[in-house]
Amino acid sequence: MADINDNPYLAHMHDSSSNGSSTGANKAFSQLVPGQTTAAQQEAVEDSSHNGLTGAAYSSRYKSILAKRRDLPVNKQRQGFLDLVHNNQFVVLVGETGSGKTTQIPQYMVYDLLPQVEGKMIACTQPRRVAAMSVAQRVSEEMDVKLGQEVGYSIRFEDCTSSKTVLKYCTDGMLLREAMSDNMLSRYSAIILDEAHERTLNTDILMSLMKTIALKRKDIKIVVMSATLDSEKFQKYFYDAPLLTVPGRTFPVEVYYTPEPERDYLEAAIKTALQIHATEPEGDILVFLTGEEEIEEACRLLSARGDELIRRANCGPLLIVPLYSTLPPNMQQRIFHKAPEPRTPGGAPGRKIVVSTNVAETSLTIDGIVYVIDPGFSKQKVYNPRVRVESLLVSPISRAAAQQRAGRAGRTRPGKCFRLYTEKSYNNDLIEQTYPEILRSNLGSIVLQLKKLGVNDLVHLDLMDPCAPEVLMRALELLHYLGALDDDANLTPIGHMISDFPIDPQLAKMIISAADYGCTNEVLSIAAMLSVPNVFLRPREAQRRADQAKAEFAHMDGDHLTLLNVYHAYKGCTQPDKWCWDNYLQYRSLKSADSIREQLRRVAAKCDIPLVSNNFSSPDYYPNIRRALTAGYFMQVAHLERGGQYLTIKDNQLVLLHPSSVLERKPEWVVYNEFVLTKRHYIRTVSEVRPEWLLEIAPHYYDLSSFPPCEGKRVLEKLALRNAVVGDKKPKKDRSEKKEKKRKSDKEKDKDKDKSDRKKRDKKDKKDKKHSSD
DNA sequence: GAGCACTGC
């Protein structure tokens, strides 16, 4: 291998390590019997002078918080909850906003199961990291312990727990990862799944997993908590589990509908907002729109027309604030600013208008909102398994989402919600619930995780909403081509490794293959850069300057190597935030790429993947990186046809290079990272590849007999023919090719073997699919 | 010659 000093991409590399351990004596809650406590007993322990977990005297703050906790709606049902938990393995709990379920229920479980005595922890999952962190912080205060000791949290990049931890808040993805190495979750005596109504991919998988675990572990308790009244579905799914309903603590919200459908919801939203400002009493406004562009447009119009209103109608001043996730953090902070003061003392009050995407629906809470304007749309992810493309579509929201939006008006006092659609439309056109994510996603990564979790029969996988068989087939097909699954759909050694990486399977395959080409260091950086939101900024007012800045990083072989250049330059600069600003780069994305790279590096090291680089001056330095790309993304290749347009391989989709690509010269063969479906079909993040690599690296996929006719096929055929003629003279073949060859010949042999029914069915499905995609 | 709802490991 090369001298590391030759390679500018490695200048940043350094090791890091962390360690921490501590022990402490616990005093048992001597009068309590695990799994048989009463509310009165629990309260007596809480009321005593000393903390049973730490042995220390309770602080005065503890006592004042305790009084407030006793006042929460959920506390009135403490005994009822304990009765249900004692007599059932599964309990479903529906609690609206303000019920206190997220903070209190896990504590009741601690007092009931006494994890400090029994040696098994209690986990409470959250869909989002911030929630896991902030709730753990709050609960550690309520229990009068130091965060990270008895009460902690565990999220990606941060494990804030210790050997003393008895209650752990974590993201559902984190618990799922843990289950991959401990299939029975044997460290836990209870799992509490919070926000289950959101039906995120990870929650759905966890729920299914909990059913399997519960069958084999009669000692584990499972509480599923949700905020909606859609409880019957949850009860039924969990073997007719009992239900506990806890009222919330919010203010009433009056809902208004438009008498006629609105033709232009953007215009209607702006009009409504200004009308509220002119006629309604003090209180801030929250407007829900679908995306960045729409929001910026609305803010421009609002501020122009607002100014006019202020001049002509003597209204109060306006503070107009856009809100979407890619907005820089300092701009996001503006949502917490106070509404402006009247222009003159005693004049018309000022008002804040927040124009937001869905972030304000669940992730972010803005205090002081009294009026909500809901046009009834949001951008939603949809997955089309036929073309294997996930895309974002503006779609009508569900009734549940509409209720959630309306609820945002009643957090501090009674509010009003203006729906820009008719009541009839609300009742007849909107669906009850948003389709769960699992029905709208590519499942490649999920199927692999399930395999790792020990789920072998995916067809009969017990999900709350079973996914479409075609989506499963697509996932199995992808994993099979990547070499992650064998012909019996069992995990291969490579599959085990891929599943250890918390990224798309193609990306993981790319990293693993990079070892064959001596360039794991570089490919790790590229994989990290591909795992974060777009790093290139292009503000409307500085597009040319932004493009020039980007051109400085451009690599002639394509966008992947351009990303490598950016990452390297980022690591080499002294003032990263300023440097990013000067170069029109998203600092947040680069920082996050850096953490992800470190995580991937650790996983790679754990898998014994050598961390290596080629000699930087070698002519093969860059081609080898692109070979590794090909090893992961050989299924996402496009060929330039004579008409000057690209056709994707096998699917024969007409696509264009995305205008953001640095590739101006249209190479004949390209791999792409992403298929973007908007007004046109684009391929984004694209690099040139050699056709002979395709045949070498993925001969099982580039089996030309199964190819639909196209120009690209003819090129490959000629190439294959030539290879066959000169084949014997070519002594050196790379390792991965040999491996693939062997796999393929095994596959041929396998065809003659006796097969199980399921396997036959799988094969048949595959064949059918091939026909349909022709 | 264009877009990027939102999470998460």
Q: What is the pLDDT of residues A283-334, one digit of tens each?
A: 999 999 998 888 998 999 999 888 888 888 788 899 999 998 888 777 888 8
Q: Which of residues 584-603 of A touch strand B (CB under 7 A)?
A: none
Is the CB of A293 within 7 Å of strand B? yes
Q: Give distance CA A157 / C1' B8 (Å).
A: 12
Helix axes A469-481, A505-514, angle to 10 degrees: 0
Q: Which of residues 708-747 of A touch strand B (CB under 7 A)?
A: none
Is the CB of A171 within 7 Å of strand B? yes
Q: Can you give the pLDDT at residue A639?
A: 94
Q: Can you give the pLDDT at residue A738?
A: 43
Q: Where are the alpha helices (DSSP H) in A453-586?
A: 469-481, 493-500, 505-514, 520-530, 543-551, 559-572, 576-582
Contact by Cβ (8 Å): A501, A508: yes
Is the CB of A357 within 7 Å of strand B? yes
Q: Give distance CA A265 / C1' B9 (Å).
A: 37
Q: Return the closest nucleotide (C1') to the Cα of A360.
A: B6
Q: Return the closest nucleotide (C1') to the Cα of A684.
A: B2
Contact by Cβ (8 Å): A372, A405: yes
Choose among A412, A433, A413, A417: nearest CA to A226: A433
Q: Can you give the pLDDT at residue A26?
A: 40
Beta carbons within 8 Å of A360's beta carbon, 6+ residues apart: A286, A288, A323, A354, A366, A408
Q: Return the closest nucleotide (C1') to the Cα of A202.
A: B8
Contact by Cβ (8 Å): A585, A535: yes
Contact by Cβ (8 Å): A222, A190: yes
In chain A, how many H helices and how many E strands? 29, 21
Q: Alpha-carbon distance A318 to A274, whole Å?
A: 10
Structure tokens at A171: 């993201």
Beta carbons within 8 Å of A158's beta carbon, 6+ residues apart: none
Which CA distances in Å does A188 have to A368, A422, A502? 40, 49, 23
Q: Which of residues 496-535 of A touch strand B (CB under 7 A)?
A: 502-503, 531, 534
Give the phi and the psi of residue A379 in degrees, each rounded to 5: -85, 130
Strands (E), A397-465: 415-419
Q: Return the closest nucleotide (C1') to the Cα of A546.
A: B2
Nucleotides of B under 7 A from a protein CB: 1-9
Q: Can you give the pLDDT at residue A190?
A: 95
Q: Can you give the pLDDT at residue A728?
A: 52
Contact by Cβ (8 Å): A49, A27: no
Is the CB of A392 within 7 Å of strand B? yes
Q: Alpha-carbon distance A310 to A278, whole Å?
A: 9
As to burial, measured by CB atoms within 10 angstroms (0-12 exposed, 13-18 middle, 19+ buried), residue A204 is buried
Q: Give distance CA A254 / C1' B6 (Å).
A: 27
Q: Return the closest nucleotide (C1') to the Cα of A380.
A: B5
Q: Can you give the pLDDT at residue A650?
A: 84
Q: Return the closest nucleotide (C1') to the Cα of A676.
A: B3
Other C-beta atoms within 10 Å of A681: how many? Answer: 18
Q: Return the closest nucleotide (C1') to the Cα of A325.
A: B6
Is the CB of A442 within 7 Å of strand B? no
Q: Alpha-carbon distance A147 to A241, whole Å?
A: 33
Q: Can you give the pLDDT at residue A469?
A: 86
Q: Give distance CA A681 / C1' B8 (Å).
A: 27
Q: Return the closest nucleotide (C1') to the Cα of A177.
A: B9
Q: Return the closest nucleotide (C1') to the Cα of A172.
A: B8
Q: Which of residues 173-232 of A touch strand B (CB under 7 A)?
A: 173-174, 176-177, 200-202
Q: Give distance CA A46 / C1' B3 (Å).
A: 54
Q: Give distance CA A4 / C1' B3 (Å).
A: 39
Other C-beta atoms within 10 Å of A338: how many? Answer: 10
Structure tokens at A592: 């996050």
Q: Where are the alpha helices (DSSP H) in A573-682?
A: 576-582, 587-606, 621-633
Tell me which residue has tokens 């529906």: A94
Q: Give distance CA A175 / C1' B9 (Å).
A: 9
Q: Alpha-carbon distance A402 to A380, whole Å?
A: 15
Is the CB of A325 within 7 Å of strand B? yes
Q: What is the dihedral of CA A155, A156, A160, A162, to 10 degrees?
A: 100
Low pLDDT (below 50) residues in chain A: 1, 14-28, 730-774
Is the CB of A291 within 7 Å of strand B? yes
Give the amino acid at A423. E
Is the CB of A547 within 7 Å of strand B? yes
Strand order in the sheet with A284-288: A253-257, A415-419, A369-374, A284-288, A351-356, A318-323
Q: Give distance CA A160 / C1' B6 (Å).
A: 25
Tens of pLDDT, residues A206-243: 999 999 999 999 999 999 999 876 789 999 999 999 99
Residue of least CA–C1' distance to B5: A379
Q: Alpha-carbon distance A112 to A83, whole Å?
A: 11
Q: Return the closest nucleotide (C1') to the Cα of A358.
A: B5
As to burial, measured by CB atoms within 10 angstroms (0-12 exposed, 13-18 middle, 19+ buried), residue A16 is exposed
Beta carbons within 8 Å of A507's beta carbon, 6+ residues apart: A501, A527, A530, A531, A632
Residue of least CA–C1' distance to B1: A659
Contact by Cβ (8 Å): A683, A638: yes
Is the CB of A680 within 7 Å of strand B? yes
Q: Give distance CA A95 / C1' B6 (Å).
A: 23
Q: Alpha-carbon distance A727 to A733, whole Å?
A: 10
Which CA distances in Å does A131 have to A194, A250, A437? 11, 20, 20
Beta-bridge partners for A122: A167, A190
Is the CB of A359 within 7 Å of strand B? yes
Give this prediction's pTM. Answer: 0.85
Q: Work out the end-to-end distance of chain A between its first and last CA atoms, rounded to an integer number of angstroms.
A: 45
Q: Can you give the pLDDT at residue A752?
A: 36
Q: Return the closest nucleotide (C1') to the Cα of A449.
A: B9
Q: Can you give the pLDDT at residue A364?
A: 78
Beta carbons within 8 Å of A428's beta carbon, 6+ residues apart: none
Other C-beta atoms within 10 Å of A352: how many? Answer: 22
Beta-bridge partners for A272: none
Residue of least CA–C1' distance to B2: A659
What distance lies between CA A742 and its chain's CA centroid?
36
The continuous run of DSSP H or E covering A270 comes out as helix A265-279
Choose among A209, A216, A217: nearest CA to A238: A209
Q: Alpha-carbon distance A99 to A93, whole Å?
A: 11
Q: Return the closest nucleotide (C1') to the Cα of A175.
A: B9
Is the CB of A676 within 7 Å of strand B? yes
Structure tokens at A717: 């055929």
Contact by Cβ (8 Å): A166, A151: yes
Residue of least CA–C1' distance to B3: A293
Choose among A410, A419, A128, A101: nearest CA to A258: A419
Strands (E), A185-333: 188-193, 221-226, 243-246, 253-257, 284-288, 318-323
Choose among A296, A297, A315, A293: nearest CA to A306: A315
